């Protein structure tokens, strides 16, 4: 079996260990939790895995959340806290979240406020949660129809990622997470960008394909390294570094809102947003043409829509541009009357501001 890869981050005042392994390792968790009480949280699709983790630490049957973004609300957070109380957790007890970003965000939130802060271990089971959500300390849930309106910063004490946990992940979920892998490569790892270009045929197949599965530890380790480096520099997003992780997200969130929540998968929306950010960066003279072409071509190879008018909005393309701009204006604060974006540069990404007419140009087809 290949060796585990380990990272020790310091996010603000808190240490956070990340272990990336080929398979599940019950001894790691047993040593971590020791004799403390613990609560394992899962969703229906991760229950089998959560049960093996509960057995390893001597915890009761996992607490099962309904699953999916619709379940990421206040009632679910309250239910997790209630389950911890029922399991007899004190401040030295462990919350153990086993699932995708919904489970890890909610479990981390509950741990961060339970008795003013209990201990937290995460077992991410989607590519998105491994490459992004489970690392870096953002917790939270949706309220009043707004994504992540409530949240805290609370890095996990330990995150354990096993490639085998992804074996049953549907390809659509894999590709949704893969957009964050591309984002990470663009902002911080040229070697990763080269790898996902060279292996596009294999990686687009999803983790049920053994050749793709064999690449998961390398992909995830590189994403964790980049995210960890950025979050160490800016743990609570008070500086500008952490904002780079939003590449593709201003356009992507607007698309998700205009198309209707759930119509375009989050990763597909972010991928389209990265292509639009390339167009914006080119227009502003910040993204070299060859770099923009390279990123857009790569996104196309993974099947993401990259054109100015997303297929979900093609019925009324002229109207779509205005609605997308309005959604961005509702989502983000303006500075000097301009919206803030992240755009790719020659070898990374940077924050910039753009006028409305410049943004609109990236959302309409150019006439030949």
Ligand X SMILES: NC(=O)c1ccc[n+]([C@@H]2O[C@H](COP(=O)([O-])OP(=O)(O)OC[C@H]3O[C@@H](n4cnc5c(N)ncnc54)[C@H](O)[C@@H]3O)[C@@H](O)[C@H]2O)c1
Nearer to ligand X, 37 or 102 (CB): 102
Whether 116 sits among the annotated catalytic residues: the reply is: yes
The Cα–Cα gap between 62 and 46 comes to 10
Say which of 227, 276, 282, 310 is annotated catalytic.
Answer: 227
Alpha-helical regions (H) of the chain: 26-33, 47-57, 74-86, 101-113, 127-128, 171-188, 190-198, 200-203, 210-233, 249-259, 266-283, 289-301, 317-331, 356-361
The Cα–Cα gap between 262 and 274 comes to 19
Whether 180 sits among the annotated catalytic residues: the reply is: yes
* Residue 16 binds ligand X, judged by CB under 6 A: no
| Residue from 53, 83, 121, 169 binding ligand X (CB under 6 A) | 169
Whether 365 sits among the annotated catalytic residues: the reply is: no
User: Taking the CA atoms of the chain, what radius of gyration do you get in angstroms?
Assistant: 20
Enter the DSSP assignment of 129.
Answer: I
Whether 237 sits among the annotated catalytic residues: the reply is: yes
Say which of 119, 222, 249, 291 is annotated catalytic.
Answer: 249
Whether 138 sits among the annotated catalytic residues: the reply is: yes
| Residue 124, CA distances (Å) to 85, 200, 254 in order | 23, 24, 27
Per CB under 6 A, contacts with ligand X among 26-65 are: 43, 45-46
288 and 343 in contact (C-beta within 8 Å)?
no
Say which of 31, 116, 366, 367 is annotated catalytic.
Answer: 116
* Residue 68 binds ligand X, judged by CB under 6 A: yes
Whether 310 sits among the annotated catalytic residues: the reply is: no
Say which of 246, 276, 291, 310 is annotated catalytic.
Answer: 246
Whether 183 sits among the annotated catalytic residues: the reply is: no
* Residue 132 binds ligand X, judged by CB under 6 A: yes
The Cα–Cα gap between 271 and 42 comes to 28
| Residue from 18, 39, 165, 343 binding ligand X (CB under 6 A) | 165
* Residue 107 binds ligand X, judged by CB under 6 A: no
Whether 242 sits among the annotated catalytic residues: the reply is: yes
How many residues make up the chain in this entry?
A: 368
Long-range contacts of 281-289 (CB under 8 A, 24+ apart): 281/343, 281/344, 281/345, 281/352, 283/358, 283/361, 283/362, 284/343, 284/352, 284/354, 284/358, 286/343, 286/344, 286/345, 286/350, 286/352, 287/343, 287/344, 287/345, 288/345, 288/346
SS3 42: strand
Nearer to ligand X, 127 or 359 (CB): 127
Say which of 154, 222, 242, 310 is annotated catalytic.
Answer: 242
Query: Stretches 128-136, 181-189, 336-344, 347-355: which one binds ligand X (CB under 6 A)?
Result: 128-136
Enter the DSSP assignment of 14.
Answer: E
Nearest approach in angstroms of CB 204 to ligand X is 18
Whether 61 sits among the annotated catalytic residues: the reply is: no
Per CB under 6 A, contacts with ligand X among 133-162 are: 133, 136, 138, 147-148
The 10 Å Cβ neighbour count of residue 117 is: 12
| Residue from 102, 158, 313, 363 binding ligand X (CB under 6 A) | 102
* Residue 129 binds ligand X, judged by CB under 6 A: yes
Whether 294 sits among the annotated catalytic residues: the reply is: no
Q: Which residue is nearest to ligand X (CB)?
A: 101
Task: Report how many residues bind ligand X under the rule CB under 6 A.
Answer: 29
| Residue from 157, 173, 189, 256 binding ligand X (CB under 6 A) | 173
Active-site annotation, residues: 116, 138, 180, 227, 237, 242, 246, 249, 253, 266
Residues that bind ligand X (CB under 6 A): 43, 45-46, 67-69, 72, 99-103, 105, 125-126, 128-129, 132-133, 136, 138, 147-148, 165-166, 168-169, 173, 176
């Amino acid at each position: 079996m290949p060796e585990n890869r380990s990272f020790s981050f310091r996010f603000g005042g808190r240490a956070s260990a990340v272990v990336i392994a080929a398979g599940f390792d019950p001894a790691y968790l047993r040593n971590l939790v020791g004799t403390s009480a613990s609560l394992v949280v899962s969703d229906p699709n991760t229950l089998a895995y959560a049960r093996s983790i509960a057995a390893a630490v001597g915890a009761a049957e996992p607490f099962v959340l309904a699953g999916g973004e619709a379940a990421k609300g206040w009632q679910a957070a309250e239910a997790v806290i209630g389950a911890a109380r029922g399991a007899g957790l004190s401040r030295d007890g462990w919350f153990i979240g086993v699932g995708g970003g919904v489970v890890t965000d909610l479990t981390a939130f509950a741990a961060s406020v339970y008795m003013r802060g209990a201990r937290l271990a995460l077992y991410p089971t989607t590519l998105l949660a491994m490459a992004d959500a489970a690392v870096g300390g953002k917790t939270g849930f949706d309220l009043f129809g707004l994504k992540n309106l409530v949240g805290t910063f609370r890095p996990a004490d330990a995150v354990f990622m096993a490639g085998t946990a992804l074996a049953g992940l549907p390809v659509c979920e894999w590709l949704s997470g893969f957009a964050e892998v591309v984002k990470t490569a663009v902002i911080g790892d040229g070697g990763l960008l080269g790898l996902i270009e060279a292996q596009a045929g294999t990686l687009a197949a999803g983790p049920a394909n053994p050749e793709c599965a064999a690449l998961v530890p390398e992909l995830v380790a590189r994403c964790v390294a980049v995210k960890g480096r950025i979050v160490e520099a800016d743990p609570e997003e008070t500086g500008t570094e952490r904002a780079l992780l939003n590449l593709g997200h201003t356009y992507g969130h607007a698309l998700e809102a205009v198309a209707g929540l759930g119509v375009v998968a989050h990763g597909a929306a972010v991928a389209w947003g990265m292509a639009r950010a390339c167009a914006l960066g080119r227009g502003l003279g910040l993204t070299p043409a060859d770099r923009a072409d390279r990123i857009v071509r790569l996104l196309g190879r993974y099947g993401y829509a990259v054109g100015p008018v997303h297929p979900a909005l093609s019925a009324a393309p002229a109207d779509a541009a205005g609605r997308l701009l309005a959604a961005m204006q509702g989502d983000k604060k303006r500075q000097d009357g301009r919206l803030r974006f992240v755009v790719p540069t020659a070898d990374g990404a940077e924050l910039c501001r753009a006028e409305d007419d410049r943004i609109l140009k990236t959302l309409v087809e150019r006439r030949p």
